[in-house]
Amino acid sequence: MMRLPPSVPQAKTSPSTLRTLLLSLLAVLLAGLVASIPARAQSQPDISGIIAKFGNDSYSDTSDAIAALATSGSPQAAAVVEALAAGNLLYDPASKAVFIRTPSGMVDPASGAIVGSAPATLSPVRANNRVRRALDAAAGALTLLNADPAKRLDAAAAVFKSRDAAALPTVEAAIAKETVPAVKAALAQARAAILIGKADAPEPDRRAAIQLIAARGDQDSISLLRSLPANSSPALKAAAEAGITKAEESLKFWAVVQNVWYGLSLGSVLLLAAIGLAITFGVMGVINMAHGEMVMLGAYTTFVVQELIRQKAPYLFDWSLTIALPLAFLFTALVGILIERTVIRFLYGRPLETLLATWGVSLILQQAVRSVFGPTNQEVGAPSWMSGAFQIGQLSITYNRLWIICFALIVFFTLLLVLRRTPLGLYVRAVTQNRRMAAAMGIRTGRIDALTFGLGSGIAGIAGVALSQIDNVSPNLGQGYIIDSFMVVVFGGVGNLWGTLVGAFTLGVANKLLEPFAGAVLGKILLLVFIILFIQKRPRGLFALKGRAVES
């Protein structure tokens, strides 16, 4: 993305500010050094015995040494572990002496001092999977005491994963020191994870651990509780069982919540794609097979707007979607009006012919876009407010999905207002209900037809802006939506906007709830079959328009 790192503008500042900057940096560094001195002075455990083990180049010795280092509390421990992980921990097969290779020369692992001369026959201490596991655990334990809370949080999560009993003393030490509640909770979880597998830990501690873990209620907690050693007491086993049941229930609950959320998200996409069709098909009775291409044109408008912004005004990037919305609406509305005036208006009252002609239009539009932009996917970026996610319970909600749901609803209700409250809406309803009467009352039906079709197309266009955020922007974009959109409109009830709303979300949620059982493809097939059967039962959809006018 085009946003520049914050430090770049400072590079252009004057030399005097640069100097103050350097000075203050230096000051901070010094302060850090001073602060760390007492810690060093406080305890300087001798780790040379542990270090010597690396010289044996035996996997088990190496692993033991790593574990010992992790709990040693030595300030050198982190450097040694890092060096080993990076292949920079060397040993001399002859003397068994161990060194760390750094850019500034060989360093003695125990003291951290640079060594003047080192043997020439050094080779790296080797690692196998076991050693690597030990390394991970040690790295985790060592960063538990890092100054950065985010690092500590990561470390706690790492320990939780590894459940390395060797890390227990470090974890407990870290808990005692910890002040940030979130990190403290994570550390407590890590400790509990270790305790569950540690058969020699005190029983009450382990019971508390089981309860703590069960309360997480996720997949990890279930596998942790399952890993309770077989020689644990029956009481603990029962507690673990209860915990597993509880966690499984919570898991099921969140799985449903998750699917409903995905379903709402899919529903909003369907709604966006179908709203325009609800006007052209539902209100005007025009079968517009080029509807999907209107969506596609909206998405390409977004692409073009973003390209221009990238080239001419990168600082506007976060506004790109906001700028693209009206442009996409205008552009697709104009294309729609053009189609209506040149093709569709000659075919009113002949729905099947309209279907064929607009299909032809859709082929032309697809090929036109392919000729101009090429057949490949175009990269449409997300503004910062669209990226990222937040967590509710075990549900991860991404901002782009959330915005699209809101956006779909806003578009829907705006349209509802336009149709109910504006003169255009009044004319549209008049013309669609009784064209001749409307004409007799002085309404220019031709113009209203064009405007209505333009409105439907324009809405498809702004749907395209939103869909460009979650779908591939390619000439085929529209094709993927056309069948779904028709299904939504027909299912919801032609001529009824509320039906479209309910239809979209029902189909979206149903689709996602089916997926875990049937798989994505079969789920979709089932849904199609369901709609086919549904139309047999209620040929006019969920919320059918009533009365004689509909017949004929």
Ligand X SMILES: Nc1ncnc2c1ncn2[C@@H]1O[C@H](COP(=O)(O)OP(=O)(O)O)[C@@H](O)[C@H]1O
Contact positions toward other proteins, by CB under 8 A? 287, 289, 343, 346-347, 351-357, 359-364, 366-368, 370-371, 479, 483, 486-487, 490, 521-522, 524-525, 528-529, 531-533, 535-540, 544, 546-548, 550-552
Extract the tokens encoding 84.
Answer: 């080993």
Residue 355 near which of ligand X, other proteins, none (CB within 5-8 Å, type-dependent): other proteins
> Cβ closer to other proteins: 202 or 519?
519
Q: How far is the CB of 547 from ligand X (least distance, A)?
A: 4
Task: Report the partner that residue 95 touches, choosing among other proteins, ligand X, none (CB closer than 5 to 8 A by kind).
Answer: none
Minimal distance in Å, beta carbon 436 to other proteins?
15
Residue 17 contact partner, candidates other proteins, ligand X, none, CB within 5 to 8 A by sort of partner: none
Q: From other proteins, ligand X, none, which one binds at residue 470 (CB under 5 to 8 Å depending on kind)?
A: none
In angstroms, give the least distance from the CB of 437 to ligand X. 16
Residue 139 and residue 250: Cα distance in Å, rounded? 32
Q: Are 491 and 506 in contact (CB under 8 A)?
A: yes
| Residue 361's binding partner out of other proteins, ligand X, none, with CB under 5 to 8 Å set by partner kind | other proteins
- Which residues in 490-549 contact ligand X (CB under 6 A)? 547-548
Residue placing its CB nearer to other proteins in the complex, 272 or 277: 277
- Nearest residue (CB) to other proteins, 9 versus 547: 547
Quickly tell me which residue has 């005036």 as its tokens.
341
Tell me how far, at minimum, the Cβ of 544 lies from ligand X, in Å. Answer: 11
| Least Å from the CB of residue 477 to other proteins | 15
* CB of 436 or CB of 548, closer to ligand X: 548
Determine the Cα–Cα distance for residues 151 and 463; give it in Å rounded to an integer.
Answer: 41
The residue type of 51 is: I
Give CA–CA dist 192/164, Å, rounded: 11
Q: Name which of other proteins, ligand X, none residue 419 binds, using a CB cut-off of 5 to 8 Å depending on partner kind.
A: none
End-to-end CA distance of the chain: 56
Measure the CA–CA gap between 370 and 477, rounded to whole angstroms. 11
3-state secondary structure of 304: helix
By a kind-dependent CB cut-off of 5 to 8 A, residue 422 interacts, out of other proteins, ligand X, none, with none
Q: How far is the CB of 493 from ligand X (least distance, A)?
A: 16
User: Angle CA(79)–CA(84)–CA(88) in degrees, nearest 5?
Assistant: 90
Q: How far apart (Å, rounded) are the C-alpha atoms in residues 327 and 462?
A: 9
Q: Are the CB atoms for 491 and 479 separated by under 8 Å?
A: no
Give CA 282 to chain center in angstroms.
Answer: 35
Contact of residue 138 among ligand X, other proteins, none (CB under 5-8 Å per partner type) = none
Least distance from C-beta 110 to other proteins, angstroms? 57
- Give least dist CB 466 to other proteins, A: 24
What six digits make up the tokens of 131?
Answer: 């050693």
Nearest approach in angstroms of CB 348 to other proteins is: 13
Do 91 and 123 form a contact (C-beta atoms < 8 A)? yes
- The smaller minimum CB distance to ligand X, of residues 349 and 547, is found at 547
**Total residues binding ligand X (CB under 6 A):** 2
Q: Which does 359 bind (CB under 5 to 8 A by kind): ligand X, other proteins, none?
A: other proteins
Token pair belonging to 354:
């309209």
Of the two residues 100 and 296, which places its CB atom closer to other proteins in the complex? 296
Q: How far is the CB of 287 from other proteins (least distance, A)?
A: 5
Structure tokens of 518? Answer: 């049937």
Report the partner that residue 86 touches, choosing among ligand X, other proteins, none (CB closer than 5 to 8 A by kind): none
Nearer to other proteins among residue 7 and residue 552 (C-beta): 552
- The answer for residues whose C-beta is within 8 angstroms of residue 453's C-beta and 6 or more apart is 280, 284, 286, 288, 336, 337, 339, 340, 344
Among 58, 60, 68, 147, smallest CA distance to 109 is for 68
Phi-psi region of 547 (alpha: psi -120 to 50; beta: other; left: phi over 0): left
Q: Do residues 294 and 460 lie in contact, with contact meaning Cβ atoms separated by under 8 Å?
A: yes
**3-state SS assignment for residue 351:** helix
Quick one: 185 or 544, whose CB is closer to other proteins?
544
Nearer to other proteins, 232 or 479 (CB): 479
Please identify, using beta-carbon distances, which residue of 161 and 540 lies nearer to ligand X.
540
Instruction: Please tell me the distance from the alpha carbon of residue 257 to that of residue 67, in angstroms, as a whole number.
Output: 42
- Which residues of the chain form contacts with ligand X (CB under 6 A)? 547-548
